[in-house]
Amino acid sequence: MEEKLAFIGAGSISEAWLEGFLAKGIKPEQMMACDPRQERLEEIARRWGLPTSTVNRDGVAFADFVVLATPPPLTLPVLQELLPALGSRHLVISLAAAVPVVRLEQAAPEIAMLRVMPNLPSLVGEGMNLVVFGASVPAVGRQRVQAMLELLGNRMEVDDAQMDCWCALCAVGPTFLFPVIQSLHTAAVTRGLPPELAMEAVSQVIAGTAHLALRGHRTVPQLERMIGLHTLKEEEAGRLFTAAYEQAVDRLHDLGRKLAA
């Protein structure tokens, strides 16, 4: 990838992308981090050698891709701040939950806008990043963004009207799985297995099971029957994860209503 990126907002979402890009060979000098917190910028410069600035417009002057990674309530105000510095060479990528593309396009009608909902496995190039392109993004811009996202793992173009549900599934989804990983690891270590080896085994079991479900030639119930043990009934698991999923969707909807008010 030859484009330069500026992260407007240097929190955890930016960090996942930043580390993911560096792991794929993107040079530190191709990226800039902008944030009002000087101590955060010093940490980023120390850890990864990126150029940084407390002035958001410095990022616009630097970059081809401007990544809005601010908290959702700040996304539109920050976009307004950047608007005088944005031009035809820029692609603006919003990572904000509950801010639809149409709101971004209304705020910056002359600028190519798109929305991406990242997820944490992008850190290791195994992400499922969801993308919605605005009407003003040209075909070549789509290709450039798709090539960029493929460095971070998989990507899927989705309907913006369904983005809250996609976000709950993919962006919040890892939080459904981390307790399972931790519980399996704790149970193994409690019974005397070495912690590092136990984590390696648990992680491979989770990853391998996911690949099996995705690429196997059997349904999930068929695969369960091959093991022959059922310690967690499907109905119980369904209730557990449905409750967490609906809670995530409700939070996103509530955030969207607050932004619209």
Question: What's the gap between Cα 88 and its chain centre?
Answer: 26
Please state, in angstroms and as integers, the Cα–Cα distance from residue 108 to each residue in 7, 81, 111, 155, 256, following that order. Answer: 18, 11, 6, 25, 19
pLDDT at 260 > cutoff 60 = no
Mean pLDDT for the stretch of residues 209-228: 82
Distance CA 45, CA 216 (A): 44
Is the Cβ–Cβ distance between 124 and 138 less than 8 Å? no
The mean pLDDT of 226-254, rounded to a whole number, is: 63
d(CA 103, CA 85): 19
Say yes or no to pLDDT of 128 above 90. Answer: yes
pLDDT of residue 239: 65
Query: Percent of the chain scored above 90 by pLDDT?
Result: 64
pLDDT digits (tens, 9 = 90+) for 55-107: 999 999 999 999 999 998 999 999 999 999 999 999 999 999 889 999 999 99
- Could you give all domains of the chain from N- to C-terminal order, each with its CATH number? 5-163 (3.40.50.720), 173-260 (1.10.3730.10)
- What pTM did the predictor assign? 0.85
- At 131-190, the pLDDT tens digits run 999 999 999 999 999 999 999 999 999 999 998 888 888 888 888 889 889 988 999 999
Q: Distance between CA atoms of 96 and 75, rounded to whole angstroms?
A: 7
Please name the amino acid found at residue 46: R
